[in-house]
């Protein structure tokens, strides 16, 4: 993949950033005949779906921990199939009897596939909340199903029919999860179990909408899975689609600004000063950064500028990457959601107030359990897992981490290093509370901070979750902007968070550009990509190298 060659100046469309939203949009534009250029400022494609390698032994996912709704009629498989990628990305199902393990003081529950079985498990561990749990799951299962139907089937449907088909989503979708908890009169423990996986969308019950929670929960209750070969398989396959259909993808190319002339986007200027022209520009940067930095507030209505300036992002993350010289005994193929505080709403209020002496909860993802046969994940007999926790939004505790996005000086700052060492120890101690002692078996230990996230993705506030508040409760912008020819994709749009939400934003954006309902089309079976244009994958094929990574499989990634 070229990094330094000068690019042709004119394109049909330029995509800024290579997260799942940007790559999916670019792939659909490419297979429909557009000459597309994707520009990524980092050294590897994928945004939060990329991987990195350490110690010539371990491969860690930055953001792909599990994906829901991956059956034959699943949303993400349908998007990939529509590009001609059927069979090039495989998904390995997690334990259908318990793909998520939720642990609170005095309570343990495995989350199974299916709303009915989920309710049975909830009542089993929380019998005194039985009636409230029945009402909660009734509302959320209906909202999840109605929102999915709207996404997949409502193109061209009369608005009155949409209203008739989505009564529960209309009544509850924009209200907060806290409102539904109150309506159902649920105990603190029940609220914590129900919202235990809130790290999937990065905000607490008092900010998250029922629509967000219901759609994410419904997504996973349709079956959780992990891409065989790791998260880089997704971006590698999308990159092959783009280049196979005449597009181009470049890493190490930072866009300094989006060009706007006479109210219309017309190209980009790179950090090198090179100007590239296109009548369509798609930004995979988050919405505030797109408005305030890449484009400039002078090109937007005052209402949009105000929202961009007052926007609140999801909480940032700290992630501890762990390699062990032994397996973790007795673990099934399930994530662990460990909560030391049985009152999740109080825990989120603490985060909002900036309290983080120790993480109140952690999410632990076991890559070596989800993909045991991919050699790069870990050496035989070893374990590879990640410990994740939300942290306060302020960057002040990280010292020089508050420097401009993309800066690297923070990594040598004494205040930053001291905070990183302290948080590493608290994360390690919390992980041992959840898993039992393991530190004498540690072979690799590495902490990623909000500053790390900002450096690699240039996200506002170092959050990987996109917008938490954009005006009113539950409001998020669509992919089309008020600037002609300018679009925004990714986790800040109304299509939701996570890998699938970002991919949906990409196909929805391509559909708006093309003026056709692409997602309903491909979900119904349409295949727009030509698999004959995709390259053969030999025995030494490596998704990381396809995406710009310099290291062959099994060696250290720089």
Digit-coded pLDDT (tens) for 3-19? 556 688 899 999 999 99
Q: Among 199, 220, 241, identify where a domain stops.
A: 220
Q: Are residues 473 and 542 in the same domain?
A: yes
Does 336 map to a domain?
A: no
Residue 428: pLDDT above 60? yes
| pLDDT of the residue at 553 | 40
Does 72 map to a domain?
A: no
pLDDT in tens, 47-66: 999 999 998 899 999 999 99
Q: Are residues 266 and 245 in the same domain?
A: yes
Span 82-102, mean pLDDT? 97
Domain that holds residue 169: 113-220
pLDDT in tens, 234-251: 999 999 999 999 999 999
Does 63 map to a domain?
A: no
pLDDT band at 2 (very low <50, low <70, confident <90, very high): low
pLDDT band at 554 (very low <50, low <70, confident <90, very high): very low
On average, the pLDDT of the chain sits at 93
| pLDDT of the residue at 406 | 63
Residue 552: pLDDT above 80? no
Q: Among 220, 254, 270, identify where a domain stops.
A: 220
How much of the chain, in percent, has pLDDT values that exceed 70?
96
Contact, 22 vs 506, CB < 8 A? yes
| pLDDT of the residue at 409 | 79
Q: Are residues 244 and 161 in the same domain?
A: no
* Structural domain total, the chain: 2
The answer to which of 71-75, 78-82, 136-140, 394-398 has the lowest mean pLDDT is: 394-398
Q: How far is CA 393 from the centre of its chain?
A: 18
Q: Are residues 42 and 123 in the same domain?
A: no
Distance CA 307, CA 322 (A): 39
pLDDT band at 555 (very low <50, low <70, confident <90, very high): very low
Does 433 map to a domain?
A: no
Q: Are residues 504 and 535 in the same domain?
A: yes
Does 361 map to a domain?
A: no
pLDDT in tens, 152-211: 986 678 888 889 999 999 999 999 999 999 999 999 999 999 999 999 999 999 999 999
Distance CA 452, CA 458 (A): 9
Distance CA 284, CA 506 (A): 9
Span 307-321, mean pLDDT? 96
| pLDDT of the residue at 413 | 87
CA dihedral of residues 537, 539, 542, 546 (deg, nearest 10) = -30
Q: Are residues 216 and 286 in the same domain?
A: no
CA dihedral of residues 221, 223, 224, 229 (deg, nearest 10) = -160
Q: Are residues 129 and 192 in the same domain?
A: yes
| pLDDT of the residue at 557 | 32
Span 316-331, mean pLDDT? 95
**Concatenated DSSP letters of 498-542:** HHHHHHHHHHHHHHHHHTS-HHHHHHTT---S-GGGSPP--TT--
Distance CA 365, CA 51 (A): 14
| pLDDT of the residue at 484 | 98
Span 313-318, mean pLDDT? 96
Q: Are residues 200 and 262 in the same domain?
A: no
pLDDT band at 556 (very low <50, low <70, confident <90, very high): very low
pLDDT band at 496 (very low <50, low <70, confident <90, very high): confident
Does 268 map to a domain?
A: yes
Distance CA 215, CA 77 (A): 17
Span 340-355, mean pLDDT? 94
Q: How far is CA 448 from the centre of its chain?
A: 16
Residue 422: pLDDT above 70? yes
Give the angle subtended at the CA of 382 by the CAs of 380 and 385, to the nearest 5°. 130
| pLDDT of the residue at 273 | 96
Alpha helices, DSSP H only, in 205-284? 210-221, 232-244
More confident residue, 136 or 550: 136
Q: What is the CATH number of the domain that holds 537?
A: 3.50.50.60
Does 373 map to a domain?
A: no
Q: Are residues 180 and 262 in the same domain?
A: no
Does 378 map to a domain?
A: no
pLDDT band at 404 (very low <50, low <70, confident <90, very high): low
Q: Are residues 135 and 207 in the same domain?
A: yes
Q: Are residues 195 and 119 in the same domain?
A: yes
Q: Are residues 197 and 145 in the same domain?
A: yes
The answer to which of 329-333, 421-425, 519-523 has the lowest mean pLDDT is: 329-333
Q: Among 158, 189, 220, identify where a domain stops.
A: 220
* Per-residue three-class SS string for 191-212: HHHHCCCHHHCCCCCCCCEHHH
pLDDT in tens, 170-182: 999 999 999 999 9
Distance CA 497, CA 493 (A): 8
């Amino acid at each position: 993949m070229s990094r330094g060659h000068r690019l042709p100046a004119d394109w049909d469309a330029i995509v800024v950033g290579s997260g799942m939203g940007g790559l999916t949009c670019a792939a659909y534009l490419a297979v429909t005949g557009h000459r597309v250029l994707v520009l990524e400022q980092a050294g590897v494609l994928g945004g939060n779906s990329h991987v990195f390698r350490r110690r010539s032994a371990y491969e860690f996912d930055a953001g792909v921990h599990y994906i829901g709704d991956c059956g034959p009629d699943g949303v993400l498989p349908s998007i990939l199939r529509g590009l001609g990628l059927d069979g090039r990305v495989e998904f390995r199902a997690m334990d259908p009897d318990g793909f998520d393990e939720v642990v609170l003081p005095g309570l343990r529950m495995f989350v199974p596939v299916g709303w009915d079985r989920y309710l049975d498990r909830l009542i089993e561990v929380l019998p005194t909340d039985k009636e409230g749990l029945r009402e909660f799951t009734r509302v959320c299962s209906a909202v999840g199903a109605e929102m999915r139907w709207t996404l997949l089937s409502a193109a061209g449907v009369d608005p009155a029919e949409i209203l008739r088909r989505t009564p529960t989503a209309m009544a509850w979708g924009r209200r907060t999860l806290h409102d539904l908890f109150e309506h159902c009169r649920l105990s603190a423990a029940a609220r914590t179990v129900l919202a235990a996986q809130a790290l999937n969308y990065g905000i607490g019950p008092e900010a998250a909408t029922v629509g967000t929670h219901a759609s994410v929960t419904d997504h996973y209750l349709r079956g959780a899975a992990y891409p065989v070969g790791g998260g880089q398989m997704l971006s590698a396959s999308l990159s092959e689609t783009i280049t196979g259909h005449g597009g181009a993808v470049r890493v190490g190319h930072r866009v300094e600004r989006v060009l706007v002339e006479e109210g219309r986007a017309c190209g980009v200027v790179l950090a090198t000063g090179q100007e590239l022209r296109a009548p369509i520009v798609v930004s995979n940067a988050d919405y505030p950064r797109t408005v305030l930095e890449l484009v400039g507030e002078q090109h937007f209505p005052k209402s949009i500028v105000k929202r961009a300036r007052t926007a609140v992002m999801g909480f940032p993350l700290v992630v501890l990457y762990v390699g062990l010289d032994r397996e973790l005994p007795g673990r099934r193929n399930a994530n662990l959601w460990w909560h030391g505080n049985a009152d999740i709403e109080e825990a989120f209020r603490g985060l909002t107030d900036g309290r983080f002496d120790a993480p109140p909860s952690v999410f632990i993802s076991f890559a070596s359990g989800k993909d045991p046969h991919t050699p790069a994940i870990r050496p035989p007999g070893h374990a590879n897992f990640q410990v994740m926790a939300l942290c306060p939004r302020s960057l002040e505790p990280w010292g020089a981490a508050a420097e401009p996005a993309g800066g690297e000086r923070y990594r040598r700052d004494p205040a930053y290093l001291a905070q990183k060492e302290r948080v590493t120890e608290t994360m390690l101690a919390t992980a041992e509370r959840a898993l039992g002692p393991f530190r004498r078996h540690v072979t690799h230990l590495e902490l990623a901070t909000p500053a790390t996230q900002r450096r690699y993705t240039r996200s506002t506030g170092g959050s990987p979750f996109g917008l938490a508040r954009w005006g009113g409760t539950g409001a998020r912008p669509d992919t089309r902007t008020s600037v002609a020819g300018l679009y925004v994709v990714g986790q800040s749009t109304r299509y939701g968070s996570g890998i699938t939400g970002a991919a949906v934003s990409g196909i929805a954006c391509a559909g708006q550009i093309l003026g056709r309902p692409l997602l309903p089309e491909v979900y119904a079976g349409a295949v727009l990509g030509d698999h004959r244009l995709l390259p053969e994958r030999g025995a030494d094929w490596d998704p990381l190298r396809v995406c710009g990574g310099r290291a062959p499989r099994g060696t250290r990634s720089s």
